[in-house]
């Protein structure tokens, strides 16, 4: 888990390629979500290329870490990152949201090896993750469970039932990562249903809480390492991210929560991301 400058550079380059491919994939599909997937590209890259104990060639390996995506609508970032990690060919990304594709608009567990749960109904992922965590404890298994979820789905009551259960049972083998991007489909979270103080709420439910910059690989990986060192309670990482990260006209705009770019918009987005990719390479030379 050591993180050297060369590995940070590699992760930054992969994340930028992931963002480019998300745009290309959404354009091909003609539907899907843009803001959340772009905002979570760094976190997914960190997990699939540094954090997770997994094997793309053996997606059902019993001792693998489990990554649960609760807010399934951001699945383009998961699919793209999984493809780059070697779970399936990049070419298959062109089938996103198409009839009979393994890459549906919300992940389907039995369709794609490496996807642990079917997700779609918001607020379900933490409960699923808690169940898997408890099962691991009862079976004396050493794998860890990671639940990636949105801030908007903190509106759902079943999220807090799961949080209460995990705190009560001191499920230290689960780490939740909240995408704190401050948007949901109808607007900004604090206007729709104020969520703060999130840190205090989770601490009151018996969780260890960390807040990080969700675009800093050092902070992402340090936080996960700290979570592994906490033995008496579950951990949640509140990752502050920019929705639409890397594409200027999408950043922080909730209207991009649930729509894909047009051909013209995609061309602008790809130009910006490719320029950014060039800067990343030059900064590390």
pLDDT band at residue 283, thresholds of 50, 70 and 90?
Answer: confident
pLDDT band at residue 174, thresholds of 50, 70 and 90?
Answer: very high
Supply 55's token pair.
């094997």
CA 204, 222, 153 angle in degrees (round to 5)?
Answer: 45
CATH number at residue 65: 3.40.50.970
Three-state DSSP class for 112? Answer: coil
| Number of domains, the chain | 1
Decide if pLDDT at 58 tops 90.
Answer: yes
**Digit-coded pLDDT (tens) for 100-154:** 999 999 999 999 999 999 987 899 999 999 999 999 999 999 999 999 999 999 9
Residue among 7, 71, 16 nearest 38 (CA): 16
Domain that holds residue 217: 5-283
CA–CA dist 240, 178 (Å, integer):
8
Decide if pLDDT at 1 tops 70.
Answer: no
Average pLDDT for 199-222: 98
Q: Which residue has the tokens 């609760």?
A: 70
Residue among 22, 145, 130 nearest 74 (CA): 22
- Global pTM reads 0.96
Cβ atoms of 220 and 46 closer than 8 Å: yes
Question: What's the chain's average pLDDT?
Answer: 95
pLDDT at site 285 = 62
pLDDT band at residue 6, thresholds of 50, 70 and 90?
Answer: confident
pLDDT at site 120 = 79
Average pLDDT for 254-260: 94
Decide if pLDDT at 3 tops 90.
Answer: no
**Digit-coded pLDDT (tens) for 78-106:** 999 999 999 999 999 999 999 999 999 99
Average pLDDT for 242-259: 96
Average pLDDT for 51-76: 97
Average pLDDT for 9-32: 97
CA–CA dist 123, 118 (Å, integer):
13
């Amino acid at each position: 888990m050591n993180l050297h400058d060369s590995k940070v550079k590699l992760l930054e380059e992969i994340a930028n390629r992931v963002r480019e491919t998300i745009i290309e994939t959404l354009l091909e599909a003609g539907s899907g979500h843009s803001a959340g997937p772009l905002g979570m590209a760094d976190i997914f890259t960190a997990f699939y290329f540094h954090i997770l104990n997994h094997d793309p060639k053996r997606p059902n390996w019993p001792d693998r870490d489990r990554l649960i995506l609760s807010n399934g609508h951001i699945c383009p970032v998961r699919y793209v990152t999984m493809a780059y990690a070697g779970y399936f060919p990049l070419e298959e990304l062109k089938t996103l949201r198409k009839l009979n594709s393994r890459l549906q608009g919300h992940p389907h567990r039995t369709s794609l090896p490496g996807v642990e749960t079917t997700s779609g109904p918001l607020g379900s992922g933490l409960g699923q993750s808690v169940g898997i965590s408890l099962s691991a404890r009862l079976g004396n298994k050493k794998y860890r469970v990671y639940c990636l979820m949105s801030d908007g789905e903190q509106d759902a009551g079943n999220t807090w039932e799961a949080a209460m259960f995990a705190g009560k049972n001191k499920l230290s083998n689960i780490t939740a990562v909240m995408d704190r991007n401050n948007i949901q489909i109808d607007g900004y979270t604090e206007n729709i249903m104020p969520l703060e103080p999130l840190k205090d709420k989770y601490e009151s439910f018996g969780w260890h809480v960390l807040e990080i910059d969700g675009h800093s690989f050092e902070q992402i990986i340090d936080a996960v390492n700290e979570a592994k060192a906490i033995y008496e309670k579950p951990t949640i990482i509140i990752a502050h991210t920019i929705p639409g990260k890397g594409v200027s006209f999408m950043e922080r705009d909730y209207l991009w929560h649930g729509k894909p770019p047009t051909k013209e918009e995609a061309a602008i987005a790809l130009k910006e991301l490719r320029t950014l990719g060039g800067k990343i390479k030059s900064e590390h030379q």
